[in-house]
Amino acid sequence: MVQYRYLGNSGLKISEITYGNWLTHGSQVENETAIKTVHKALDLGITTFDTADVYANTAAEKVLGKALKGQRRESLEIFTKVYWPTGPKGPNDSGLSRKHIMESLHGSLKRLGTDYVDLYQAHRFDYETPLEETFQAFADLVHQGKVLYVGVSEWTAEQLRAGHALAEELGIQLVSNQPQYSMLHRVIEGKVIPTCEELGMSQIVWSPMAQGVLSGKYLPGRPAPQGSRATDKKGGARMIQRFMDEDTLEAVQNLRPIAQDLGLTMPQLAIAWVLQNPNVAAAIVGASRPKQLEETVKASGVEIPQEAMWRIGEVLSGVAHMDPEETYSVSPKTRP
């Protein structure tokens, strides 16, 4: 069964394996299968579910809401996000203005079939909206009881520090950041994680398997398997491209003996690795069918010996992305 961790310095516990529906619900997976997969997650002890209004242009929230209908709300932690455009993409249909935050949250609550969300996250930093406006809107939603905690996604160390200070002034808790993090993408280790440790914030990390590359299914010198993310022309191939060079694929294959020595599959090793970082509260995983989750959750509670961590570092030396400057190029300078 899945273990639980505190989210930042708050009293909220979340499942360290968190179910996310970014690329599955409302798009790649039929609704019936998606609902069965959510129910399997619940059976395995996953209580935390992460989504966003932009996923499948609001359809992912609707599917998750349907899947969780009838469950005891108090036993769940439901996370969603705001920033990216939804609907007809008008001038106020994106960003972190008060108008967009308020309208987006109310839309999310309706689609999810709930009166509140446990964590509401700024999906990116909005350079076009005063930070004070954004956090006042978040604070109002917290004080109204529609949002319990506030988080962000892919913010820089400086942005996190500024947001945390404003949150404190307004009497609310900024508890988390949701960045990409994996053995192959470690750019948050230089500045973001030390800042969050200082501020009492956790990481809820996405793509712990580096878009599936760390599963080991992509072999150097061979075409990507049909139906895999690397062959997905809807955007998956673009997302995974940065990890598809020959050197990286060869290095990943050298992780197999380490996984075997630990009695883990490659996906389990990848997820367990991110959970070794004490600043990580949860690893977000997706699944296209219930069976996948049965193996994934076995990474929960795994302790990788330090010697194995060193071996992993050596194997991936030279191919892992480490430059903290990459954190400064994630949020668009203008609203999309």
**Residues assigned a catalytic role:** 55
Counted residue by residue, the chain has a size of 336
37, 290 in Cβ contact below 8 A? Answer: yes
Contacts for 308 with CB less than 8 Å, ≥ 6 apart: 258, 261, 262
- Written as six digits, the tokens of 190 are 């230089």
What are the backbone angles phi and psi of residue 158, rounded to the nearest 5°? -70, -40
- Written as six digits, the tokens of 102 are 């308020």
161, 199 in Cβ contact below 8 A? Answer: yes
